[in-house]
Amino acid sequence: MSDASGALLMTWRGAVLQARVDYNGHLREVYYLLVFSYATDALMDLFGLDEAGRKAAGYSIFTLETHMNYLLEVKQDTPIEVHTQILGRTPSG
């Protein structure tokens, strides 16, 4: 991986589905985390850690801790994107 610390990567794009909204028409809390999980999967793919890459490398990544702040309402049919930023990394080797 090149040293792209600080760069934003678009790691997931979709829209809020009707089946995922609550009685107020807002995305249910559980689905925010699902969207972020899909974005993490996409990030792993970008780093070559898809299923085959994980088997070949013998390692993976995982989420240790999650903090979410709900700053805006996301309603049905709203297009949403996840942009991931790498803040640091452990040197390999």
Q: What is the pTM of this model?
A: 0.81
CA distances from 82 to 39, 59, 85 (A): 7, 24, 10
Question: Residues of the chain whose pLDDT is less than 50?
Answer: 1-3
* Percent of the chain residues topping a pLDDT of 90: 66
